[in-house]
Structure 1
Amino acid sequence: MPASRLSSSVAILAASTMLLSACGGSTDASDSGGGEGTSGEGLTVVTSTDVYADLASRILGDTAEVSALVDDTAADPHSYEASPQDRLSVDRADVIVANGGGYDPFITRLAATSGKEDAVYQLIDGENEHAHAEEDADHEGEEDHEEHEGEEDPHDGHDHAEGFVNEHLWYDLAAMSDFVQDFSVHMGELAPEDAELYQENADALAAEIDALDERNRAIDAESMSFLSTEAVSQFLLSDAGLEDSTDEQFLAAVEHGDDVAPRLYQQALTAAADQQIDLLSYNPQTETNQSAQIREAAEDAGVAVLEFNETIPQEHDSYVEWMESNISAVETVVEDARG
């Protein structure tokens, strides 16, 4: 039986209030653009993945040095093992950006080891429950996330499936727009002399993301459905109007790093082979023998297959460009299906 639309009740969080650490000398300019800074000293920001590094760079411009621990499309952030260089980067960071939700516990572990817990800005509440659990992938309790007082849930409108959290927040464009604004306020509190710059950059970036969100939600995908080999694209495709036909137990097994039960695997294989779906969403960074077989069945049956990565592919210069490409691909699939 198809699963209902899944998502997490996610609260955008600012890190605990902290004093700005002094950094000697000026920092390198960001690769991702942004305005010119006015501060004589800069912040050092370390993020778990290049998605958040790109967005942070757009906001902070030349006032900060921003780097990501994971920026390789061949790496799976779910199972990433931090290096000694990563540990050094986190130890030197003024601000540490984590996705949370059990997605990137490697960076919060490093922060804890370095005594930098107060420097962590975490998007999804509850990750610390799992950060020290040695990859047991037990997601119990993650569904109980509280919103900040006075803030709206960025996932309002998404259905919530008990016992499963989709932590791939960067595919939720509305949530990313909220993050951009919230992060700019947080950084402005740490560097008041650059607060106005951060807000201007955030407004421009949020407007670009909002436009993509509007375009995605305008896709006419009524009566069309998709199957995912992993939950990465779920927010984007559901917002585009496609019905999610993936069993939540299938997704939970993948998120836990387990083999999918034979019954669920056969169910997915049949759905692909018998054209019971219009689109297969495929994550090449979490490929298994089972997911490869499902993809082969879909391709043999003439079902459209789209790849959705965890991190920004090398052929794209920015998060915004990458998401625009993903939306264009979905539009093409829908248009082709409509004839």
Structure 2
Amino acid sequence: MPALLLGLTTTLVLTSCGSGGGDTNGKLDVVASTDMWASVAEAVAGDRAEVEAIIGDNEADPHSYESTPRDAARIDRADLVVYNGGGYDSFVAQILSGDTEAPPSVEAFSATRERDQHGHDHDTAENHAESGHHEHGHEHSGNEHVWYEPSSVQQVAERISEHLGQLRPQHSAEFDRAAADLGARLDEVEQRIDGIEQRHGGTEVLTTAPIADLLLDRAGLDDVTPRSFVRSVESGNDPAAATVAEMQDLVDSQRPAVLVHNPQTASSLTERIRTRAENNGIPVVEMPETLPEGQNYTQWISGRVSALERALDESPNQ
């Protein structure tokens, strides 16, 4: 083989084998189950990756999403997959389990459960004290909506940074700084949640779905929603008549200061409860599952905390 051709062939082989995946412009390919987790991945990866979400429709319910062959292909070609886990976006786990050469992945639910059981992987108590990072120790009790707890999202961002750093070691410090910057912004949100707990700890609230339970618990609020209603909503069944009557009585009592409502799992029943709450002067705070257009995760969670804070401050039922 001529020397020039041999050199060219060798160069092509090395370029192909050393790319570590990613597209032709050298960027990593990151696929997330929802736009919520895509936004977190984008905050860490910056311009070093192309990040895409499988579910970005704010009308969709990830619990019941049915994947397509195109989704499987997107996950298969990814350099990194980021998903929620905990049964929330189970289609991702199903695709990964059926792939004998599945790409590396970050499962948010598992990462945060490990944090609950063992503490942060990388930060000691001394580091937390020096950095001002908050360690609250709230356990999830199986709630899969972990993006409603900013400290959990910080943990996931660290895991994403680790994986990206392994794929692109020359940029690992850059990924770590981006994750730390995101953590600092989320610490500010945590401090505002502390303020809600200080002013409104123990205040009763009602929910139409257990979407924001981690945030409500973190803020020290007392969710008085009947457990039978929560179980029915989670299973997709209609609550018993006695349970509906109990919810209506709670609303009519005007005890709850706020009604937390998930518009993406709304039904005729939950919409009636929402209207009843509004008629009783109970402020309604929407807590959805995907991002509105034009907002990143930090902006979104900050806005949801602000909405909750404002509703509690202005509620007549204090």
Query: What TM bracket, shorter-length normalisation?
Result: 0.7 to 0.9
Aligned to 1:157: 138
Pick closer, same or farther for the CA change 1:74–1:92 going to 2, 3 Å: same
Distance 2:184 2:50 in 1: 24
1:283 matched to 2:262: yes
Alignment equivalent of 1:193, drawn from 154, 163, 170: 170
1:208 matched to 2:185: yes
- Indicate if the aligned counterparts of 1:172 and 1:235 stay in contact, CA closer than 8 A: yes
- Indicate if the aligned counterparts of 1:280 and 1:305 stay in contact, CA closer than 8 A: yes
Aligned to 2:53: 68
Deviation string 1:104-147 (CA, Å, 9 cap, x unpaired) is 01112222334354522212239xxxxxxxxxxxxxxxxxx666
Where in structure 2 are the equivalents of 1:4-153 lying within 5 Å?
A: 21-26=20-25, 41-117=26-102, 119-125=104-110, 151-152=119-120
Aligned to 1:234: 213
Amino acid aligned to 1:53: A
Could you tell me which runs of 5 or more consecutive residues in structure 1 were left unpaired when the two chains were aligned. 1-18, 27-40, 127-144
Alignment equivalent of 2:297, drawn from 319, 323, 328: 319
Please report how far the alpha carbon of residue 208 of structure 1 lies from its aligned counterpart in structure 2 after TM superposition. 0.2
Pick closer, same or farther for the CA change 1:159–1:184 going to 2, 3 Å: closer
> Which has the higher relative contact order, 1 or 2, with Cα contacts under 8 A spaced 6 or more apart?
1
Distance 1:208 1:24 in 2: 30
Pick closer, same or farther for the CA change 1:337–1:180 going to 2, 3 Å: same
Amino acid aligned to 1:311: T
Distance 1:229 1:114 in 2: 37
Amino acid aligned to 2:137: D
Please report how far the alpha carbon of residue 233 of structure 1 lies from its aligned counterpart in structure 2 after TM superposition. 1.2
Aligned to 1:246: 225
- Indicate if the aligned counterparts of 1:90 and 1:114 stay in contact, CA closer than 8 A: no
Alignment equivalent of 1:334, drawn from 279, 296, 312: 312
Pick closer, same or farther for the CA change 1:21–1:247 going to 2, 3 Å: farther
Aligned to 2:251: 272
**Percent of aligned positions with the same letter in both sequences?**
32
**Structure 1, 84-93 or 113-122: larger mean CA deviation:** 113-122
Between structures 1 and 2, the one with greater helix share: 2
Amino acid aligned to 2:256: I
Give secondary structure in 2 for the equivalent of 1:218: helix
Distance 2:260 2:182 in 1: 27
Distance 1:243 1:279 in 2: 11
Distance 1:280 1:179 in 2: 29
Amino acid aligned to 1:170: W
Deviation string 1:289-318 (CA, Å, 9 cap, x unpaired) is 22112112111111111111000112x421
Distance 2:268 2:59 in 1: 16
Deviation string 1:206-258 (CA, Å, 9 cap, x unpaired) is 10011101111211113421111111111112222321112333222212222
**Structure 1, 305-314 or 150-159: larger mean CA deviation:** 150-159
Amino acid aligned to 1:103: Y
Aligned to 1:4: none
Could you tell me which runs of 5 or more consecutive residues in structure 2 were left unpaired when the two chains were aligned. 1-17, 122-134
Please report how far the alpha carbon of residue 155 of structure 1 lies from its aligned counterpart in structure 2 after TM superposition. 7.1
